[in-house]
Amino acid sequence: MNWRKKFVKLREERRTFIDKGNPRSVSFLVATWFGSGLLIPAPGTWGTLSGLFSGMFLHLIAPELVPLSAGALYCLSLWAINQIEKRTGEHDSSFIVIDEVVAIFFVLAMLPVYTLPYIVGGFVIFRILDAAKPFPISWFDEHIEGALGVMLDDVIAAAFTIMILWGVYLV
């Protein structure tokens, strides 16, 4: 399938997701991180990037807001994802990006130093791990159902990202 056909297919999937998901609901706005997950191609990357900028903004206001927001959003995301999955009948839609947002918040909260190279490095490493899903990330993705399953593979990818960044920092 060429890139044009893939793009058209993704647009159709997005339209179906929006039609079933009730885009005016709080759960839809949270799950798609205010629509950033509806950008194509690569909604997960757009969602992560949107989360990165949101987290950096929070850090400018007060650094302690980032981990507090990550924890609060994690709890809120379980509810939002559950609502969206009920409406759409689809598990772990690519348009749900709150899992990437929460994960990148955790990465930002745990950076060894808050500098541009570590911020960009955290973004890149997380996206690679989230897309490739090496073991044990893949295990969580394949074996945990529902909203918890949607969240855990990204949180585990964030944990590995944090360990890699700290490893680089300590060397």
Instruction: For residue 106, give both structure tokens.
Output: 């955790």
Mean pLDDT of all residues belonging to the chain? 95
What DSSP letter does each residue of 9-67 carry, written as one string?
HHHHHHHHHHHHH-TTSHHHHHHTTTTGGG-SS-HHHHHHHHHHHHHHHHHHH-TTHHH
pLDDT 10s digits, 119-164: 999 999 999 999 999 999 999 989 999 999 999 999 999 999 999 9
Q: Which band of pLDDT confidence, cut at 50, 70 and 90, is reported for residue 72?
A: very high
- Give the pLDDT score at 1: 63
Q: Are 90 and 17 in contact (CB under 8 A)?
A: yes
H or E segment to which residue 167 belongs: helix 146-170
- Report the candidate in 84, 91, 78 with the shortest Cα–Cα distance to residue 22: 84
From its phi and psi, is residue 133 left (phi > 0), alpha (psi between -120 and 50) or beta? left
pLDDT over 90, % of the chain: 89
65-88 and 98-109 helices cross at what angle (nearest 10)?
A: 170
Q: CA 101: distance to chain centroid? A: 4
- Report the candidate in 106, 88, 169, 52 with the shortest Cα–Cα distance to residue 44: 52
pLDDT 10s digits, 21-43: 988 999 999 999 999 999 999 99
Number of helices (H), then strands (E), in the chain: 8, 0
- Give the pLDDT score at 2: 82
Q: Which band of pLDDT confidence, cut at 50, 70 and 90, is reported for residue 3?
A: confident
Instruction: For residue 153, give both structure tokens.
Output: 């593979």
Instruction: For residue 21, give both structure tokens.
Output: 């998901």
